[in-house]
Structure 1
Amino acid sequence: MNIASRLRLCALPLAVSLVLAACGDKAPPSSGTPDKAAPTAAAAEAGALPAGWQRVAGDDVPTLPGQQAVLPSKVQSDDGADVDVADTSRIIAGGDDIIAVIEALGLGQQVFAAPTNTTTQAGLAAPHQFLFNRTTGVEGVLSLQGSLFIGNSLRRHTELAKKLREVGEPAVVIDDLQPAPDKVRKIAAVLGVADAGQTLATLVQRQLDEAAVIGKGLGHAPRVIHVSATGAGGAPTVAGADSASAKLIALAGGINIGTEAGVANYSRLSNEGVVAAAPEVILVTEHDLQLFGGAEGLWKAYPTLKQTPAGQANRVWVMPDAQLKYASIGSGAGALALAQALAALPKA
């Protein structure tokens, strides 16, 4: 059974609090950092874009494979707890932002369990995929028999991590709302490769700084709307002020429509609101484009997008999830690519 089929089966609600997806034969583990020349799984399935659409992606995501971990490591979780980490061989990862850093360090084969909506190579190759949400219970996580839990949200994972630690299981939370370089440093420290994390974080920050310089030099701040197929009970949404993409768009010199509209996280925006926002650029990630069902599905989900300046110009930019939708190792490359694309827009 191939990975895509196994993921579809594993997305079924097999339990109330946790869906274990050890379906069929175990997939081969990731060899670590993905080959830069190879497209992501999402990109491979996305195929050619409609005429006029554009892929916007940085090709210089920092990696530093071949690291030798120094364990045990003692780290402070973002929920304030001090945690001793002795074994990182079977990591239960709460999100792709965590997994992307693990991959960049060449340790992708240590990802033991990943969320069902993962788009990373290491996540797709992990022995387990699981439904991870606010109701995920400690019993379900324990049943995976991992060696380390790394959550990515103080809102969702603080209580879970606390309960895991109470029964002797190491659990760390690296909050998703913090800047990408800080996140990279913290995840690397948890894995026992703090020095490598500092090096990678510096590279990411350098890219972010370069993007900011380009963004500040734009004579006009383009209006950008990032649309997603998920985020409001499965309904189409736009990225709001506290999303990673909102920060990236602003850094690259754009105006994020969701921020201006007062949208929180990923929330719905009315068809009338889309028209009134008058975006000049439409952003969508590779995985979300698949979930929409391609271009036709995107226009169907937000029919009034075609009435906006971006829609009339057929200006839809498709970005890798890892470079737009969450703050992680790819944020610098994504910000730089977006800033360069905005700078190349025709002058108003």
Structure 2
Amino acid sequence: MKAALSSAAALSLALGLSACGDAARSDADKSEAVSTSLPKGWSRLAGQDVARLENPGVQRLPVAARGDDGVTVEIRDTSRTIAGGDDIIEMFDALGRSSDIFAAPKESATETGRGARHRYLLNRATGAEGVLSLKGTVFFGNSSQRHSRLSAQLRAAGTPAIVIDSGQPAPARIRRIAAAIGLADAGEQLARKVEAQYAQAAAIAKTVSRKPRVIQLSATGAGGHPAVLGVGAPSSRLIAIAGGTDIGTEIGVKGASPLSPEGMVQAGPEVIVMTETDLKTFGGEEGLLKSYPTLAQTPAIIDGRVFIMPDLQLKTGGIASGAGVVALARAFAALDFE
């Protein structure tokens, strides 16, 4: 039988109602998906309880912090921070340091990033000269592969630069970034909040016996081209915690990789997840199916099970991933495959 949301679950998803029962099952039935201007069956899925702190405390600098490129850096001033990604910006926002974000990537999906004094192009070809011209006090990178060389060049020119890779679990990254900007205690509090959300999602997942086969698609993950995400992508970890089988991981994708038309059919995704930015970049359903024509033959498209999520809740592996993984777990638990 065609798998879909049960009528009760669909009502819960639409109206935000919760059902009675044990705590884990109640969480599974709560709504956080809303369909608006999307193809039939597609849903916008967003967790509402993103971890925040009322009082992050007083910043204490200088700090000696070791990056994932193996270099220990002394950070004395974050007032003109050059951010290497939205997950870095999100951390500064949560810790009350939004005004420190002096420069942000042009493609930033965050309000703070879009409002930064400087917007710069950050990709594999970005050179140290352009970043140095921004005259920042510190650079925070989020990818050992993409930012280690740049960071070394910046340090050689006298600008502190640290890389804290996005491939590690969110709570660990939260603690490390917070400590690096002199707010270790606040980082610990935030990390514990996110860990609690991960545990909540895992509890929901345990109530479900049928794991959906889930694929995350990126419009630009393979060097600017459409890709499937897999091992090392923050979203892959979230899908697994939420009770899904991550297809990218299953087929051995490391990071992001294109998938052939035949491979897409063989993978047989029952659920597709992607970010708002990727949906826009694909050009909606029409653009998605143009990039991956054989998706039309998969259960996910045939049965209309496509979840569109905020970038920060799915893709960047930061604070908002806690709310995102709970939303995913509830959505997976509401699917009816009988």
Instruction: Give the structure-2-normalised TM-score.
Output: 0.85
How far off its partner does 1:315 sit?
1.2
- Determine helix, strand or coil for the equivalent of 1:75: strand
Q: Distance in 2 between matches of 1:279 and 1:159?
A: 37
- Determine helix, strand or coil for the equivalent of 1:291: helix
- Determine helix, strand or coil for the equivalent of 1:198: helix
- Correspondence for 2:256: 266
Q: Distance in 2 between matches of 1:265 and 1:305?
A: 21
Question: Which stretches in structure 2 are left out of the alignment for 5+ residues?
Answer: 1-34
- Correspondence for 2:323: 333
State the number of aligned residues: 303
Which of residues 192, 211, 216 in structure 1 aligns to 2:206? 216
Q: 1:291 to 1:188 in 2, by over 3 A?
A: same
Q: Distance in 2 between matches of 1:74 and 1:83?
A: 5
Q: Distance in 2 between matches of 1:173 and 1:61?
A: 24
1:53-104, CA deviations, whole angstroms, 9 ceiling, x for partnerless residues? 1111111111125533122222222222222211111110111111111111
Q: 1:141 to 1:47 in 2, by over 3 A?
A: farther
Are the aligned partners of 1:113 and 1:129 in contact in 2 as well (CA < 8 Å)?
Answer: yes
Superposition pairs of residues 31-46 of structure 1, within 5 angstroms? none
How far off its partner does 1:153 sit?
1.3
Are the aligned partners of 1:65 and 1:105 in contact in 2 as well (CA < 8 Å)?
Answer: no
Superposition pairs of residues 284-323 of structure 1, within 5 angstroms? 284-323=274-313
The answer as to 2:103 corresponding to 1:113 is yes
- Determine helix, strand or coil for the equivalent of 2:186: helix
Q: Distance in 2 between matches of 1:76 and 1:264?
A: 25
- Correspondence for 2:42: 53
- Determine helix, strand or coil for the equivalent of 1:329: coil
- Determine helix, strand or coil for the equivalent of 2:336: coil
Question: Which residue type is aligned with residue 282 of structure 1?
Answer: I
Q: Distance in 1 between matches of 2:123 and 2:224?
A: 14
- Correspondence for 2:5: none
The answer as to 2:217 corresponding to 1:227 is yes
Deviates more, 1:62-71 or 1:90-99: 62-71
Question: Which residue type is aligned with residue 51 of structure 1?
Answer: K
Which of residues 80, 89, 92 in structure 2 aligns to 1:99? 89
Question: Which residue type is aligned with residue 296 of structure 2?
Answer: K
Q: Distance in 2 between matches of 1:262 and 1:89?
A: 41
Percent identical across equivalent pairs?
Answer: 54
How far off its partner does 1:47 sit?
6.2
Q: Which 4+ stretches in 1 moved above 6 angstroms?
A: none
Which of residues 149, 167, 170 in structure 1 aligns to 2:160? 170
1:181-229, CA deviations, whole angstroms, 9 ceiling, x for partnerless residues? 1111111112211111110011011111111222233201100111111
- Correspondence for 1:134: 124
Are the aligned partners of 2:289 and 2:296 in contact in 1 as well (CA < 8 Å)?
Answer: yes
Question: Which stretches in structure 1 are left out of the alignment for 5+ residues?
Answer: 1-45
Q: Distance in 1 between matches of 2:42 and 2:237?
A: 23
- Determine helix, strand or coil for the equivalent of 1:55: strand
- Correspondence for 2:133: 143
Q: Distance in 2 between matches of 1:134 and 1:240?
A: 20
How far off its partner does 1:164 sit?
2.0
Question: Which residue type is aligned with residue 64 of structure 2?
Answer: K
- Correspondence for 1:254: 244
Are the aligned partners of 2:229 and 2:254 in contact in 1 as well (CA < 8 Å)?
Answer: yes
Alpha-carbon RMSD across the aligned residues, in angstroms, is: 1.6
Are the aligned partners of 1:285 and 1:325 in contact in 2 as well (CA < 8 Å)?
Answer: yes
- Correspondence for 2:195: 205
Deviates more, 1:89-98 or 1:105-114: 105-114
How far off its partner does 1:125 sit?
0.7
Instruction: Give the structure-1-normalised TM-score.
Output: 0.83
Higher relative contact order (CA 8 A, sep 6+): 2
The answer as to 2:330 corresponding to 1:344 is no
Q: Distance in 2 between matches of 1:233 and 1:191?
A: 31
The answer as to 2:270 corresponding to 1:280 is yes
Which of residues 109, 125, 147 in structure 2 aligns to 1:157? 147
